[in-house]
Structure 1
Amino acid sequence: MFILSIMSMFSACAKLCLRCRGLLSPKNSTHLHCVHVQHGVTVGKPSRISNRFLSRGNHTAAQSRLNWKRQTSCCYDYTAKYLTTEAKESKHTDDVHRTDVPEYKPALVPTVAALPLPQSQISVDLDADDRLSALEEISDEEAVGISIPPSIPPASVSLQDYVDQSETLTKLVQLGVSLWKLERRPNVGSMLLRLDFNRDVAPCLLFLKEIGVEDSRLGYIISHNPFILSENLENLQARVNYLTSRKFSSETVASMVSRAPYLLNFSVKRLDNRLGFFQQQLKLSASNTRNVVARLPRLLCGSLEPVKENLKVCEIECGFKQNEIQHIVIAVPKVLTASKRKLTQIFDFVHNTMKVPHHLITKFPQVLNSKFLRLRERHLFLEYLGKAQYDPDLPSYISLDRLVSLPDENFCTELAMATLEDFYLFQKTL
């Protein structure tokens, strides 16, 4: 009985060896691979088939098993690569789950089919795939030679991060556009990134050049009014045509656009209403209205409330007559947009402290647009020297115009008859 049991165990071992030999043959190995792929098994480094069946009964010596392992170990890497290549060509990779089939382990028994593959039979695609493997070690020279494309941040607080990747921003910087001003304004940065330079920006720049805007002013215009890039060229041309029809010369229109970047963003109707407002409020002729607007074109762009308030200040608080206000506005249009506090402060000092009457202020209205600190220091210095005399009918008369316009050196030598050092020493006493 014992001999029969030993013989039956040898028979079972022989059958198992034949079965393992057939599983590792090229034909059956391909079939086994396809099954693993269909069940979602990814073939990596080959593992071993469980030898729980071989552990029963009488086995060969341990040294023989070690020799068999050494003979078969050189074949497993080639077999695994072959199975990996076949797995990539399969069309059923995603059909089933990875955990449906137990892990495949190759047998310990050496087979004829598990011989090393010749180098000529190794697929070129396999070599290419190995080169692209993220786990493969490369030399330092190869690592330095790898080019990594710059990534564009999905969000940023500065347009500087996008200049190198955006042709539009690069060209705008070359034109002199101040991106740091634009990025402070909401939604302007995202608008510029969506613009195509050749399609959106270049036609607008060419239009501005055609109407006479100088190249040096293009950056200034876009820095203050980037929304002009989104305007329709037909609308821009219509607004230029309107200004020309109102007898503004081409040079004047170009100068107005250069100094008031938002001018062409307003409709023809609004421009017409603004011109009519200034002509009616100031009771000016058409020629004088054009003169005032041409010298201060932002009158057509800004709010009208400060203008109305300054006109009331000049009439009610300062006490100027209508014709005097007209003369002041024609000579110094900035009076209409000046700060109310500055306007009243300068008038109070000139009229009440320097004792200058209204008609002389009207004759030299530049004093209302001067710096209060300069005016105060020079008047006090002349008063200290006993030369603060602003009546043209008296000797040693000092004009208000020269008082506020001359540089310090000329003021000292021509009006105060003193040295510049004396004036600086006096300023320290104030």
Structure 2
Amino acid sequence: MALPRYQRNARCLLLALGQYGGFLKGLREPMALTCCNLRRNEAISGHHFYRPFFTMQNLAWKCWRSGAASVRYISEDGVNVIQPENSQPSDSQKQQELALVPKNDVDMLLEELDDPLWSELDVIPEDEGPQIAPIPPSSYTLKKYVDHSETLQKLVMLGVDLSKLEKRPNVGTFLLKLDFEKDIQKILFFLKDVGVEDNQLGPLLTKNPFILSEDLDNLQKRVAYLRSRKFSQKAIARMVSRAPYLLNFSVERLDNRLGFFQKQLGLSAENTRDIVTRLPRMVTGSLEPIKENLKVFELEFGFRKNEIQHLALRVPKVLTASKKRLTETFDYVHNTMEIPHNIIAKFPQVLNSSLLKIKERHMFLSLLGRAIYDPTQPNYVSLDKVASMPDDIFCTEVAKASVQDLDEFRKTL
């Protein structure tokens, strides 16, 4: 369908402006830039006009009156306008070099651009107003939020280490959404009732801030379950303080964990309570390393069931120790020092000691002729003295030498 002549010219003008000046991009540029360029009498392209429709109408009308399609030329004030496409410049036009747009048209355009887009008193919709961006899932710092967040300020006063929490994904956002009196205070009172000391609240929340998201009724049910299993108030307080994620476990999950240790180790209920109270992290940690270590003790090391029970009851930490470390220590103690299983089971702390210390002391005693680990022999040396005694006491009571002698020996290794 053929367009009227003035519509064709307006369409050509829009195309020309879009190609020359990036019309669509220009709609996003500040209008003040356009005004500034006009006032400085600098050349600007059509993409600087923030209100293109009105401007296009005026210029298209002039183009239609000139009887030609759209080709740009520059006015004396530096504004891009239209020159006939088909007609060649006459001699007089060549002498003038540029056609002129009436000054009145440019003044009128400037007046329009000077009109404010909105008033300072206009109400800005809430969704368009400035808002504080939420903290990223893995934030760089919580410092800038502390001055504006009562919740963060009170957590710091409790001893919570925000520098550790801000490195954990989503924790910063989670804390900023909490109200101290509504969401946090009730949990603190609950922990106090359980028996957690004031100086332990900060470290507990640093390790497990997500206890603040737990329902208070569920927390109370879990404590009630532990009491029903005859854990004392002191034992529960110790367990919650040393294993902060303990109360995040449901009653069913807690029951399964306690049942696992009782069944796998063949322990009584009392011994199960004792071992869990002393090392509550066994309950909240992964069970896979424990299962693997139990197999290692039985199948690779050759301990009997009752010896494994004794090992676990005396030093529960051996159940969660590194398999590599356990293997290296057992190999040296059993094969190099020639100590049998029953003596190792009697002094299991040797498996939890530094292998380097054991090697140094064994070689030092061997040099002195005192490496005697058979209880039936005179000058017998028990493994617990080799594994855990301080250097000065070890040298005085066991090696019958001075600390300087031990230090000189270490330099030869």
Short-chain TM bin: 0.5 to 0.7
Displacement of 1:242: 0.2
Matched, 1:427 2:410: yes
Question: What is the aligned partner in structure 2 of residue 398 from structure 1?
Answer: 381
What percentage of aligned pairs have identical amino acids? Answer: 62
What is the identity, as a one-letter code, of the residue corresponding to 2:367? Y
Could you tell me the TM-score, scaled by structure 2's length? Answer: 0.67
Q: How does 1:244-259 map to 2 (within 5 A)?
A: 244-259=227-242
Question: What is the aligned partner in structure 1 of residue 209 from structure 2?
Answer: 226
Matched, 1:290 2:273: yes
Question: What is the aligned partner in structure 2 of residue 376 from structure 1?
Answer: 359
Coordinate RMSD, CA, aligned: 2.0
- Note the residue ranges of structure 2 that are not aligned, 5 or more in a row: 1-108, 121-130
Instruction: Name the CA shift for 1:232/1:416 in 2 (closer, same or farther; >3 Å).
Output: same
Q: Work out whether residues 152 and 162 of structure 1, in 8 Å CA contact, stay in contact via their aligned partners in 2.
A: no
Question: What is the aligned partner in structure 2 of residue 239 from structure 1?
Answer: 222
Displacement of 1:161: 2.2
Distance 1:326 1:365 in 2: 11
Instruction: Name the CA shift for 1:154/1:304 in 2 (closer, same or farther; >3 Å).
Output: closer
Distance 1:412 1:102 in 2: 93
What is the identity, as a one-letter code, of the residue corresponding to 1:369? N
What is the identity, as a one-letter code, of the residue corresponding to 1:167? E
Displacement of 1:184: 1.3
Displacement of 1:374: 1.2
Displacement of 1:98: 8.6
Question: What is the aligned partner in structure 2 of residue 363 from structure 1?
Answer: 346
Distance 1:392 1:335 in 2: 24
Question: What is the aligned partner in structure 1 of residue 162 from structure 2?
Answer: 179
Question: What is the aligned partner in structure 2 of residue 310 from structure 1?
Answer: 293
Question: What is the aligned partner in structure 2 of residue 196 from structure 1?
Answer: 179
Displacement of 1:288: 0.9
Q: Work out whether residues 175 and 218 of structure 1, in 8 Å CA contact, stay in contact via their aligned partners in 2.
A: yes
1:167-214: CA deviations, max 9, x gaps? 111111111111121111100111111111111111111110011111
Q: Work out whether residues 182 and 189 of structure 1, in 8 Å CA contact, stay in contact via their aligned partners in 2.
A: yes
SS in 1 for 2:176: helix
Question: What is the aligned partner in structure 1 of residue 150 from structure 2?
Answer: 167
What is the identity, as a one-letter code, of the residue corresponding to 1:339? S
Q: Work out whether residues 153 and 161 of structure 1, in 8 Å CA contact, stay in contact via their aligned partners in 2.
A: no
Displacement of 1:312: 0.4
Distance 1:102 1:290 in 2: 81
1:14-64: CA deviations, max 9, x gaps? xxxxxxxxxxxxxxxxxxxxxxxxxxxxxxxxxxxxxxxxxxxxxxxxxxx
SS in 2 for 1:191: helix
Q: How does 1:17-96 map to 2 (within 5 A)?
A: none
Q: Work out whether residues 311 and 348 of structure 2, in 8 Å CA contact, stay in contact via their aligned partners in 1.
A: yes
Question: What is the aligned partner in structure 2 of residue 9 from structure 1?
Answer: none
SS in 2 for 1:392: coil
SS in 2 for 1:311: helix
Displacement of 1:256: 0.4
Displacement of 1:101: 11
**How many pairs does the alignment contain?**
288
1:242-290: CA deviations, max 9, x gaps? 0000000111101100000000000000000111111111111111111
SS in 1 for 2:381: coil
Q: Work out whether residues 152 and 165 of structure 1, in 8 Å CA contact, stay in contact via their aligned partners in 2.
A: no
What is the identity, as a one-letter code, of the residue corresponding to 2:350? V
Q: How does 1:410-421 map to 2 (within 5 A)?
A: 410-421=393-404
SS in 2 for 1:308: helix
Question: What is the aligned partner in structure 2 of residue 275 from structure 1?
Answer: 258
User: Highest Rg: 1 or 2?
Assistant: 1
Instruction: Name the CA shift for 1:414/1:194 in 2 (closer, same or farther; >3 Å).
Output: same
Distance 1:181 1:101 in 2: 53
Displacement of 1:100: 5.3
- Note the residue ranges of structure 1 that are not aligned, 5 or more in a row: 1-96, 104-128, 130-150
